[in-house]
A and B are shown apart, each in its own frame.
Chain A
Amino acid sequence: MTEPRSVGPPARARLRAAGLTLPLVAFVGFSFLFPLGTMLSRSVYDPLVADALPETLALLEEWDGETLPGEPVFAAAARELETALGDRLAGRLGGRVNRVASGMRSVIVRGARAAAEAPAATARETLIAGDPAWGDPATWRAIRTAGERFTVRHYLRALDLDRDAGGSVVRQPEELRIYVPLLLRTLMVSGAVTLLCLLLGYPIAHLIANAPPRRARWLILLVLVPFWTSLLVRTTAWIVLLQTHGVVNSLLVALGIVADDGRIAMIYNMTGTLVAMTHVLLPFMVLPLYSVMRTIPPHFMRAASSLGANRRQSFFRVYWPLTLPGTAAGSLLVFILAIGYYITPALVGGSSGQLFSNMIAFHMQTSLNWGLAAALGGILFVAVGALYVVYDRLVGASSLRLG
């Protein structure tokens, strides 16, 4: 009788405490995990074609994939396409098959129209009269592929792979390999930006952390003002500064450092991307560094030198290790934000301005191929996750301090 009473209140208190986090858990589940899950499921699951052409696809399972399928397959396809046309599904079907093989959209739609409007003696003649491509086994292979309810082809595509007619995995032809090179470039750019932010941000954070409070407030403000400025305004400002006849080049010419016809290309190339992105992301490095440095008592360094360390030793053996949590947090923040950046590089990066996220945006907004967009996002997710694991092994995630 006494035992439950002594356990009761703490348990209830714990429960109540846990209850306080419920809104947060619900919010995270609703606004983050659920959309993430549905989006990722799109990358492997697409029932549209399978639902619209069940009979045709069932018959195609028996088919060898080389010769033209027989009349029963044509008849089933004609019937199901006609229904799809009536349900306003033909265009959507065509769009799905078109993702497997370019040019298929109109083949499907014309076939559906022919089946509805101009049936010939046989279904085969009907469809081929609608579009001659119905007489090509490649069309049927594309339909069969698009009809997979569960598929890995978006992931294959996202890794510049494809399946050949026999079904084995092969690399895409060279002129279509784009996602892997872009992913590598994106990781490299993000790494370089992180390094630049660290090199620039470390001394700034140190300066602010050790300045008298009044001056520190002003310095923090200076870091934050660009942070509060619109992204496009900042980007445009860099264009004004860095372009061929821009402020920096004109200054260099006026000072006689470069010749008028030898102006330096500083924008619409990788330099522009790095400069603009570093500027945009710098506050994310400075703030965590600053919050860690502020907690390091200045007498630690004095103690180090009184024990005989020179300035370099006391920095590398005392100060630097103490700032590691801030360095790690800032680097991780900057790196992950940089991976998702695409507007700034697109505006100032010239031919190198296309990064991985541009392709995700393209497939989200323009091509509406959300399956592929989700697969690309999934790959980015895995890449970042892998980096985090490596980071955890090297530095230890528990040392992370976000401020």
Chain B
Amino acid sequence: MSASGLRRRGAALALLAALGCSSGDGDAGSLTAVSWGGAMARAVNKAQYEPFEAATGVTIAREDYNGGLAEIRTQVDTGNVHWDVVDLETFDSLRGCDEGLLELMPDDLLGPGADGSAPAEDFWPGTITDCGIGRIFYSTVLAYHPDRFPGETPATLGDFFDLERFPGRRGMRRSPLVNLEFALMADGVAPEEVYAVLDTDAGMERAFRKLDTIRDFVVWWEAGAQPPQMLADAEVVLSTAYNGRIFNAQVAENQPFVIIWDGQVLDFGQYGIVAGTPNLEVALDFVRFASTPESMARVSAEIAYSPVRRSALPLVTTHRETGVAMAPHLPTSPENMGRALVSDTRWWSEHLDEVNERFSAWLAR
């Protein structure tokens, strides 16, 4: 086809898209899938988008975003929906569902587990919500560079708050999320009681008092890429970090970082479908496809996040690029789950506004 022909065809397609039609020609349809960019988008592309396109003939347009619901809200409010399937943080998925920005997921969407178990048994409790289907677990862990601790090395969450035995600055994300949970667990609260304690004024006070003990030694980070950098540059001796970022530094940059899994706080991401999309059927097909144990396991072969289906975990073997065995690097591997907490997003969705104000005031003091 000549260049002008291509251009004309491109213009015609753009026109069709602008008119809100799916491109004709009797093909299998199209879908716009939105992910986080970077390693996450590459992993999902390899593990889920490409196989789905190959299996169904659907064309997937890939877009990136930085989380939050602002774009989705604008699309729904103006009736101009051009995103279909979105990788959501659970927090956004809950609020988006409340606000009517996301489609409800049908009850019979999901298939059985790899061991034949019913989806409700197979998915980790709470990972299926009205508008979201769980995808992956990621975790906030503690990490350090072994060179900073020639003698005794930190091994528990309590050590993170122990400035006497392990002096030096610590990196923490500038947000109350996860940090309050860390503080309470380090103060001796059992993981299953953390949110009951946080629900009381005294418990909230207790968490902030614990944070007070290391406040002057904290370097606050903002972006997930910062902690590995700060650890490598000796800006901090210990840091909270996303486990996937530390894994990347370990295998891709040969950094000898060590992860402390004790007291890890897990969060899960979900797939959600933007309300009012013209491609609802294809979008549901995609979510069904991406939620099979095999598809989830393929994601974990790309990036160190765990599948939210229990029966998918045994299907994960090695990292596709480097051949590293993945089990020790996955948050939900039994050996890493000794003391672990799954973040209660529902609690946070009700309290974040107030707690965030309190945290900001505490930080500004």
Q: Contact flags (1/0) for A170-182 with B, using CB distance below 8 Å?
A: 0000111110011
A99 at the interface (CB under 8 A from B): yes
Give a binary string over B202-237; 1 marks a CB under 8 Å from any A CB, 0 the rest: 000000000000010011101100100110011100
Please give me the residue from chain B that is nearest to A363 by CB atom. Answer: B353
| Beta-carbon contact of B353 and A347 below 8 Å | no
Question: Whole-angstrom distance between the alpha carbons of A159 and B360 in the complex?
Answer: 15
Q: Which residues of A contact B356 (CB under 8 A)?
A: 362, 367
B223 CB to nearest chain A CB (Å):
7
Cβ of A243 within 8 Å of any chain B Cβ, yes or no, is yes
> Which partner residue on chain A sits nearest B70 by CB separation?
A365
Main secondary structure of the interface of A (DSSP, over half): helix
Q: Contacts A106-B346, A346-B174: A91 and B354 contacting too (C-beta < 8 A)?
A: no
Contact with B along A235-249 (1 / 0, CB 8 A): 000010001111000
**A105 touching B350, Cβ below 8 Å:** yes
At the interface with chain A, which of B47-55, B97-105, B258-266, B308-316?
B97-105
- Asked whether B68 is an interface residue with its Cβ less than 8 Å from the other chain, the reply is yes
Asked if B351 CB lies within 8 Å of chain A CBs, one says yes
Closest chain B residue, CB of each to CB of A182: B364
- Residues of B within 8 A of A (CB-CB), count: 41
Which B residues are in CB contact (< 8 Å) with A347?
222-223, 226
Report the minimum CB–CB distance from B111 to chain A (whole Å).
Answer: 27
CB nearest to B89 among chain A residues: A366
Specify the chain A residue showing the minimal Cβ separation from B218: A351
Pair A92/B353 contact, Cβ less than 8 Å: no
Query: In whole Å, how far is B322's beta carbon from the nearest beta carbon of chain A?
Result: 26
Of residues 91 through 142 on chain A, the ones whose CB sits less than 8 Å from some CB of chain B are 91-92, 94-95, 98-99, 102-106
Contact, CB under 8 Å: A368 / B69: yes
CB neighbours (8 Å) of B351 from chain A are 102-103
- Inter-chain contacts of B220 with A (CB < 8 A): 268, 350-351, 353
Given contacts A244-B234, A351-B218, contact A178 B360 (CB under 8 A): yes
Q: Size range of the interface on A?
A: 35 or more
CB neighbours (8 Å) of A333 from chain B are none
Which chain A residue lies CB-closest to B351? Answer: A102
A362–B357 CA distance with the chains assembled, in angstroms: 10
Does A178 contact B349, Cβ atoms closer than 8 Å?
A: no
* Closest beta carbon of chain B to A56's beta carbon, Å: 20
Q: Is B288 in the interface zone, CB < 8 Å from A?
A: no
Kindly identify, within residues 341 to 365 of chain B, every residue whose CB is under 8 Å from any CB belonging to chain A: 346, 349-354, 356-358, 360-364
Question: Contacts of B360 on A, CB cut-off 8 Å?
Answer: 178, 182, 354, 359
The answer to whether the Cβ of B42 comes within 8 Å of any Cβ in the partner chain is no
Please give me the residue from chain B that is nearest to A179 by CB atom: B357
A120 to chain B, nearest CB (A): 25
Q: Which residues, 339 to 357 on A, are CB-close (under 8 Å) to B? A: 346-347, 350-354
A346–B358 CB distance below 8 A = no
Interface centre among A178, A243, A359 (most CB of B within 10 A): A178
Which of A92, A94, A354, A364 makes the CB contact (< 8 A) with B363? Answer: A354
Neighbouring B residues of A176 by C-beta, 8 Å: 354, 357-358, 361
Query: Is A271 on the interface with B (CB-CB < 8 A)?
Result: no
B350 cross-chain contacts in A, Cβ below 8 A: 98, 102-106
CB distance from B239 to the nearest CB of A (A): 12
Chain A, Cβ-Cβ closest to B91: A366
Chain B residue with Cβ nearest A106: B350
- Considering the complex, give the chain B residue whose CB is closest to the CB of A99: B353
**B-side interface mostly:** helix
C-alpha gap A366/B96 in the complex (Å): 10
In this assembly, does A305 line the interface, its C-beta being within 8 Å of a C-beta of chain B?
A: no
Interface presence of B319 (CB below 8 A): no
Find out whether the CB atom of A92 lies under 8 angstroms from the CB atom of B99.
Answer: yes
- B98 contacts A95, C-beta separation under 8 Å: yes
Known A243-B233, A245-B235, A351-B363; contact A368-B99, beta-carbon cutoff 8 A = yes
User: Which chain A positions have C-beta within 8 A of B100?
Assistant: 88-89, 91-92
Q: Bits for B80-116, please: 1 = Cβ < 8 Å to A, else 0.
A: 0000000000010001011110001000000000000
Given contacts A175-B358, A347-B223, A351-B218, contact A367 B364 (CB under 8 A): no
Check: B73 CB closer than 8 A to any chain A CB. Answer: yes
The residue on B at minimum CB distance from A346 is B222
Whether A102 lies near B97 (C-beta < 8 A) is no
Min CB distance B38 to A, Å, is 13
Provide the residues of chain B in CB contact with A174, threshold 8 Å. 361
Query: Closest Cβ of chain B: how far from A343's Cβ, in Å?
Result: 8
Q: A103-B351, A243-B235 in contact; A91/B364 too (CB < 8 A)?
A: no
Task: Tell me if A369 counts as interface (CB < 8 A to partner B).
Answer: yes
- From known contacts A91-B98, A246-B233, A350-B219, infer whether A105 and B349 are also in contact, taking CB-CB under 8 Å: yes
CA distance A177 to B104 in the complex (A): 38
- Give min CB distance, B354 to chain A, whole Å: 4
Across-interface contacts of A88 in B (CB, < 8 A)? 100, 104
Further contacts, 19 of them, CB under 8 A, given A105-B349, A176-B357, A178-B357 = A88-B100, A89-B100, A91-B97, A92-B98, A94-B98, A95-B98, A102-B350, A102-B354, A182-B364, A185-B364, A239-B229, A244-B233, A244-B234, A246-B233, A268-B235, A346-B222, A347-B223, A364-B70, A368-B69
Q: Which residues of B contact A (CB under 8 A)?
A: 67-70, 73, 91, 95, 97-100, 104, 174, 199, 215, 218-220, 222-223, 226, 229-230, 233-235, 346, 349-354, 356-358, 360-364
Give 11 CB contacts A-B under 8 Å. A88-B100, A102-B350, A104-B350, A176-B357, A178-B358, A185-B364, A243-B230, A243-B235, A244-B234, A246-B233, A368-B95
**Top 8 closest A-B pairs, CB basis?**
A91-B98, A365-B68, A178-B361, A102-B354, A346-B222, A178-B360, A105-B350, A268-B219
